[in-house]
Amino acid sequence: MTRLTDLEYLQLGRFKKFWYKFRMFWIVLFPTIGRFFVNIWKKITRGFWKVIDWFKSIYTIFAKGDWKTRLSYVIWGFGSYCRGQWLRGLLFTLFEVLFIVYMVLWGGMWLRKLFYPGHIGEVEVYYIKKVIPGIGEQKTPVYTDDSVQILLMGLLTLSFIIAAIYTWYVNIKQQKIAEEILASGKKVKSAKQDLKSLVDEQFHKTLLALPVTGIMLFTVLPIVYMICVAFTNYDVHHDGRTAFFSWVGFENFGAIFTSNTGSASMSATFGAVLLWTLIWAFFATFSNYFLGMLVAMMINKKGIKLKKLWRGVLVLSSAVPQFISLLYISNMFADSGLINGLFTRLGWPTVKFWTDTQNPNIARVTVIIINIWIGIPYLMLITSGVLMNIPADLYESARIDGANPWQQLVKITVPYMFFVTGPYLLTSFTGNLNNFNVIYLLSGGGPDNTTVAGTKVGHSDLLITWLFKMAIGQENDYKNASVIGIMIFVIVAFLSLVVYNLLPSNKNEEDFS
């Protein structure tokens, strides 16, 4: 399909314009998805060649370096001692000694157990003795190993090994740099100069050392741990202490993506919850957006009095902590809550907003409507600022050309708003995909739908609330909760990358400049 010029597009009828835009959306979408996967493949291949270049540089440094540099491959920092950089040499040597001691005393053990976290192996075992009348003495074995601890310490050991490999490479690279500096007739930095550089030209490294370490330990490591759990059978029946868990490969993912016997309910429920999650995110995002824009336009309209009062009322409603307001509204709409009490006094039939299993759409529609009440004040503030910055001459020119208010809204206001707030809409949509508070505090995910592997899931549950119930419920189904967490990340990342590349603010930055 050929792209029409602006003049050809304007000559189309309303239906043909819509159909043209619809077809162009898919024409642009598929190449975007293709470029996404092509870029991923390019990054993988680029990373592969970087690894090859890394090995080549190690060989080149050893082949062309002097005996001091070569000996530094075994004794870290040896070349630094010989070249007068004793502080660098001391740090490299201390790290090597620490690494060797750790691996000999503890690291090797944790690394060996990591591959078999569900295998008893050579662990200390003691027995709880209990005398049962008529049967005699019974022994219950208790193992001192803990699969959770094995997995955690194993990952820490792997991280330490990666850090050691990086430090070893920095060590030999520093020897090469020092050797080249001396060969050029210059002097290498002394220990005093190294210390001074940590608060001068290398001060950024000094400042970032502690935060980066914290991010690796408290952010990256838990994420890697969660990903690893998805490949185990970690649940209430394999808690890691009384019954070890073990690696099961992609078995947990197969339960979601296949419809074989025993996994049909899991895969079907995942599809249903995913569909509702996408529907919820769409309505929660765009209902707030357009209604918030409408409220902002009404308040900003000329002739409206007490504008500050209306803005203040809306801002005050959003100032109440969401946790409190959502719990209060949830109780209002409960079976014996204020709303049903009012219905009873008026002689109207009561409504089971959160517990009607026969008509679960009541709960879904209710949470969407309540979310509108929560989101409009914030969207009103955002869109007010944007609306006031739309050039007035655009509207004046449109009125001169005979455009009515609806045409001005569709042709000027909405395109301008989409251009400016496009990135916000994307972040709002992805945020609503993981909007735990609104769903869990209002309906609790109800009404109950079915039981999947012992875990209850409700008709209004999102993927994130379903994950929470899996992990915190009586089943402690951590393995499937981890799988759901990975799937949420994949879905959010994919939608974000694709939609971001289709946003007008990203593709046509000059349109409203």
| Number of other CB atoms surrounding residue 450 within 10 Å | 13
pLDDT of residue 102: 95
Tokens found for residue 391 = 């050039």
Least confident of 69-73, 179-183, 194-198, 208-212: 194-198
Banded model confidence at residue 129, pLDDT cuts 50, 70, 90: low
pLDDT of residue 316: 77
How far is it, in rounded angstroms, from Cα 302 to Cα 314?
19
pLDDT of residue 122: 43
Q: Which fold has domain 271-507?
A: MetI-like fold (1.10.3720)
> Domain segments of the chain: what residues?
6-59, 65-249, 271-507
Percent of the chain surpassing pLDDT 90: 32
Q: What is the mean pLDDT of residues 360-366?
A: 92
Q: Considering the chain, what is the average pLDDT of its residues? A: 84
pLDDT of residue 341: 92
Q: Are 398 and 456 in contact (CB under 8 A)?
A: no
Tokens found for residue 312 = 């203040």
Banded model confidence at residue 416, pLDDT cuts 50, 70, 90: confident
Q: What is the mean pLDDT of residues 386-415?
A: 84
Is the predicted pLDDT of residue 302 greater than 80, yes or no?
A: no
Higher pLDDT, 118 or 95: 95
Q: What is the mean pLDDT of residues 329-339?
A: 90
Higher pLDDT, 301 or 462: 462
Find residue 247's DSSP bridge partners: 232
Summarised one tens digit per residue, pLDDT across range 182-204 is 988 888 888 888 888 888 888 88
Higher pLDDT, 91 or 499: 91
Fill in the DSSP letter of residue 461.
Answer: -
How far is it, in rounded angstroms, from Cα 111 to Cα 163?
15
Q: What is the mean pLDDT of residues 297-312?
A: 81
Residue 210: CA count within 13 A, CB half-sphere: 3
- Quote the strand ranges of 95-196, DSSP E: 125-132, 136-143
Q: Are 452 and 266 in contact (CB under 8 A)?
A: yes
Three-state secondary structure call for residue 482: helix
CA torsion angle for 398, 403, 407, 411 (degrees, to 10)?
A: -30
Report the run of H or E that residue 14 belongs to, with start and end.
helix 14-64
What pTM did the predictor assign? 0.80
Q: Are 274 and 463 in contact (CB under 8 A)?
A: yes
pLDDT of residue 104: 94
pLDDT of residue 139: 60
Higher pLDDT, 457 or 509: 457
pLDDT of residue 57: 92
Residue with tokens 């740099």: 177
Is the predicted pLDDT of residue 427 greater than 60, yes or no?
A: yes
Is the predicted pLDDT of residue 287 greater than 70, yes or no?
A: yes
End-to-end CA distance of the chain: 29
Banded model confidence at residue 450, pLDDT cuts 50, 70, 90: low
Higher pLDDT, 330 or 411: 330
Q: What is the mean pLDDT of residues 68-79?
A: 93
Summarised one tens digit per residue, pLDDT across range 256-279 is 777 554 444 778 888 889 999 999
Q: Are 506 and 421 in contact (CB under 8 A)?
A: no
Is the predicted pLDDT of residue 181 greater than 60, yes or no?
A: yes
pLDDT of residue 9: 72
Higher pLDDT, 307 or 1: 307
Q: Are 464 and 438 in contact (CB under 8 A)?
A: no
- Return the exposure string of 233-269: e unless at least 16 CB atoms fall within 10 Å of the residue's CB, then b: bbbeebbbeeebbeebeeebbebbeeeeeebeebbeb
Count of residues in the chain: 513
| Number of other CB atoms surrounding residue 147 within 10 Å | 23
CA distances in angstroms from 335 to 344, 439, 442, 475, listed in the order given = 11, 17, 13, 28
pLDDT of residue 123: 47
**Ranges of H-type helices in 320-391:** 322-332, 338-346, 361-387
Q: Are 60 and 154 in contact (CB under 8 A)?
A: no
Q: At what angle do helices 478-502 and 14-64 cross, to 10 degrees?
A: 110
